[in-house]
Structure 1
Amino acid sequence: MIRNITILLVFQLLGETVARGAALAVPGPVIGLAALFVTLLVVPGLAERMRDTADGLLAHLSLLFVPAGVGVTAHLTTFAEAGLGLAAALVGSTVLAILVAVGAFVATARLTGAHRDD
């Protein structure tokens, strides 16, 4: 398990190094995750060996949101002052994201010739 976590951290470090070294707008962990994905495709045995570690991390993923919750409670006055605007932005962006996803789905269905069975 320690070896697998080390592999994950090395890929994150690699991504951070590339992102900062090349001054990219893409976050380092995203680059590292893409490199890990490619590596797992090329070396399928590595994917199988890391499965238990990945499942363990995903099972406890909710723990990673604790810092965000603490951040929210640390800025309660900000939420009190701008709460209505924040709520409107949250609801509006959610609705917009759903509409864009539907539009992309419909466009893809039309481009691929998929049709509805009546």
Structure 2
Amino acid sequence: MLLALFILLSFQLLGEGTVQLFHLFIPGPVLGMVYFFLALLLWKPMKGHVESLTQFITTHLSLFYIPAGVGLIEYFDLFGKYGVGMVLTIIFSTTITIVATALIFHWVLKCSGKGESHD
């Protein structure tokens, strides 16, 4: 599991280093995730090295919400001012995301021929 953690953190560091070196607008961890994805595609054995850690992280994903909850309590007064706008924005953006995802999924199924009915 330590090797897997080292691999994941190395890709995050690689992403951060690339962003700092080339002054990119994308966050370093996101670029590191892209590098990691490409590495998984190009080198199949890497999946076996990181699978146990990713399952552990996914199992304990709720722990990552604790800092967000602390942030909510810390800035609770801002929710009094901007809460309605924030809630409306979240509802609107979530609706757009779900609709866009459904449309793209439908389009991909149609293009791949798997959405055809075989009656």
TM-score of the pair, normalised by structure 1? 0.82
Match of 2:41? 41
Looking at structure 1, the residues matched to 7 and 92 of structure 2 have their Cα atoms a distance apart, in angstroms, of 39
- Please give the secondary structure, in 1, of the residue aligned with 2:45: helix
Runs of at least 5 residues in structure 1 that lack an aligned partner in the other structure: none
Amino acid at match of 1:52: S
Q: What is the CA RMSD across the aligned residues, in angstroms?
A: 2.2
Looking at structure 2, the residues matched to 44 and 77 of structure 1 have their Cα atoms a distance apart, in angstroms, of 49
Identity of aligned residues (%): 31
Q: Classify 1:108/1:16 alpha carbon distance in 2 versus 1 (closer, same or farther; 3 Å).
A: same
Instruction: For residue 40 of structure 1, report the CA deviation from its aligned partner.
Output: 2.2
Amino acid at match of 1:84: V
Q: Point out the more displaced range, 3-12 or 106-115.
A: 106-115
Q: Point out the more displaced range, 105-114 or 12-21.
A: 105-114
> How many pairs were matched up?
118
Larger relative CO (CA 8 A, sep 6+): 1 or 2? Answer: 2
Alignment of 1:11-90 (within 5 A): 11-90=11-90
Deviation per residue, 1:79-107 (Å, 9 max, x gap)? 01111111111111112222333443455
Runs of at least 5 residues in structure 2 that lack an aligned partner in the other structure: none
Amino acid at match of 1:27: P
Looking at structure 1, the residues matched to 45 and 7 of structure 2 have their Cα atoms a distance apart, in angstroms, of 14
